[in-house]
Structure formats: C-alpha cells, structure tokens
Structure 1
C-alpha cells in the first residue's frame, strides 16, 4: 500500500507550484498532492471560482483520482486553503469513500470566524495594498505589470471567496487536527488559531513556527516535519514507513 497522501491547498492567488519544494522535503511516508484550481497555472484559461462550495466540488474529483492505493489522505491548507481543506475533509468524511487521516490548518482562524479584509471591490492598487498590509507578504510577480494583469483575477476571486465564506457550524470531524501559525503572524493570533479545536472530537494540537503569516513560503521543512510527527502519533509506529 502507498503511504499517506498530503492533499495541499495553497493561500489565495497561489497554485500547485507553491508546493514544488515539498516533494523533496517530505518524509518518505508522505506523498504531496497539490490541488490545482481554475484560473491559475495549467488551468489558467478557466474562470476562477468565487465560492468555497464550488472550489470543493472542483477539488474532490482530483483528490479521488489521486487517492487510489493510498492508506488515506491528510488535508493541508494555508489561510484560504485551510478553509478549503476543512470543507473538503467534511465532504470526504460524509461520503466515506476516501479515508481521512488528519487535517492540518495553517495561518487561519477557525471556520466560524469572519474572514473579511475589506478588499473586495477596491481598485487594483488599493486591493493589493490591503492584502499586503494584512498578510505582510507580496509576491514579486505582482510588481511586473504584465504578470500582475495575469495574476490579479485569481487573487481577487480567492479573496472574494474567503470574504464570502460562512461556515454552517454543524460539521465536527472525528480526525486529528493540527493548527499551525507563524509566531510573528499579526493577522492570526494564538486565540484565533485555537478556534479550530471546535471542529474535532479527537486530538487537537497547535504549534507556532518562526516567521509571520507567510512563514511557510521560505522554509516549509519545519512545517512538513510537524505534519509527519502529527500523522505518526495517529498511526501505528511503522505505518508511515511501509
């Protein structure tokens, strides 16, 4: 049997290539499977989605196609990706067709929190300034006019998706949840991160790693080690090495 599949949702505006380094950094017991949504990279020509439910509907066939032969999946997401990972975990657990081994949420308050930056509808410059001020991060490609024109539609759609999102508040998972933030993250504090405890009936852990809101952009290795440690606690001691 193959090892655990780490299904990974990036932050707003990003695509599967954000996880390119993760293949070489992950434990031998963990295969990384980035989710590719419309409006970016190989799916650039497709209109980006603006609702979490639509993004989950789009991601599920990808996950089911890749999960065959694996022991199960662990769902990971950062910021907007955390919400997508959670809602996807809820769907997979309800359908019971793909085993969910765990949920790892990063840089995000719990799903009941209103994720409103007040960015939707602003001019391009004001929009980018608002997002950068909130996250402490700006991709260098956004400073190139031609690239900015290409990247903005997906980023705007993702921010709108996050701002529109409202959790039903009724789904509680029976899988371990690990919540992680950058220790210097001024957008998501420890109390907001702790809100994720409400979504699970089993083990819940929180961890902080050096850096700000986008701590994982430059140094994903420590995060991957945390994920592997979390899965090892949930599985038999030799199962990740099979």
Structure 2
C-alpha cells in the first residue's frame, strides 16, 4: 500500500483476491470506524476501505481540509493509485460523506480515467439541489443548538470530554467552501 493510500484509507478486511473494493466516506465529524462492521457483513471477496479525513482517529493532529474540493483531489489521486491493479471500485458516502464521494467520483473520471462501477449515497440531497448553508453560530453552545435542531440529539447526551474531542472535526467540516 502506498503512503497516499495508507494516509487516506483504513482497511478492516483485506480480501486476498477482491472482486470489488467498496470505499466508504463517513458523515461530518465521522471517522473510518463508522464502517468497520461492514467488512464482517459483506461477502469475503469484497474489500471494504473507509476514508480517514484529516483530524480523525490516527490523523487527529492533521489540519482539517480547507474544502471538500481540496480533499477530493487528494483522495481521488490516492484511489487512482489503488485502482491500478484493476479491481473495480464502488463508492459509498453518507451525509457529508456523500458529497465527498460524489466529488471524488467526478475527479476519478475526469482526471485519472478511473470509472467506479457504482456511486451509492445516502442522507444528502442530490448535488444539483444542494444549497450551502452557512452556520452563523460563533460559540460552541450556539453551534450545538443548531446541530440538535437538525436532529443530532445524541450530542446533547455526549460526555463533555468526548464532545470536546469531536466538536472541532464537526466545526471543521462545517467550514468548507
């Protein structure tokens, strides 16, 4: 595995001769572990990779991506290297991850000549219907209130120490251009 592939992806099951690689993209504030159980649930010849965005898990010290576009450029380049072995790619993204997966798919085709066999998305409007909403919340309390209003009620019950750890990544994802 090259450095760029190892930087961007975590593999929870390596198939000796995969017939497909399913590349998963987590939601805002999410981490690759959101998909670790998928590797156990899918057939053994499907290799599951999960994107590890900067500021998550073992990349906790890395600065957040300045934009979805900048991140998609780097991820697409890493996937192009991985796709050189001829194993077909399918991409799945949830919520913000669906936006990342879509942008990566566009770049894979246009810049690297790699065409994923499928793009699966959930929890987000279609790109041509998506409106960018700017968060006006200046402090954490107001930002959390906005998130709770959007249905993220689990944040209300989160341990304060854990909330302090995940809140910067959620804010970082919210600040993309």
Please report the TM-score for the alignment, with normalisation by the length of structure 1.
0.60
Query: Considering only aligned residues, what root-mean-square deviation do their CA atoms show, in Å?
Result: 2.1
* TM-aligned CA deviation for residue 136 of structure 1: 3.9
1:28-107 → structure 2 map (5 Å cutoff) = 28-107=44-123
Which residue in the other structure is 1:177 paired with?
A: none
CA contact (8 A) 2:24 2:93 kept: yes
Given that 1:77 and 1:83 are in contact with CA atoms closer than 8 Å, whether structure 2 keeps it comes out as: yes
User: Relative to 1, partners in 2 of residues 1:4 and 1:19: Cα closer, same or farther, differing over 3 Å?
Assistant: same
CA-to-partner distance for each residue in 1:102-139, whole Å, 9 max, x for gaps? 110101001122042x5354311221221122134535
What is the correspondence of 1:121-140 to structure 2 with a 5 Å cutoff? Answer: 121-138=137-154
Query: Equivalent residues in 2 for 1:157-168 (5 A)?
Result: 157-161=172-176, 164=177
Shift of 1:12: 0.1
TM-score, normalising length from structure 2? 0.80
Distance in 1, matches of 2:136 and 2:63, equals 17
For 1:181, the equivalent position in structure 2 comes to: none
Change (3 A) 1:147 1:98: same
Give secondary structure in 1 for the equivalent of 2:93: strand
Alignment match, 1:149? 164
Number of the residue aligned with 1:109 = 125
* CA shift digits 1:64-93 (9 cap, x unpaired): 344343431111111111111011000001
User: CA offsets per residue over residues 22-74 of structure 1, 9 Å max, x none?
Assistant: 11012334211101111110110011113111111232243234434343111
| Whole-angstrom CA distance in 1 between matches of 2:62 and 2:49 | 21
Structure 1: 5+ residue runs without aligned partners? 165-242
Cα contact 2:77–2:108 (8 A) shared by 1 = no
Aligned length: 160
Aligned in 2, Cα 1:38/1:13: closer, same or farther, shift over 3 Å?
same
TM-superposed deviation, 1:149: 1.9
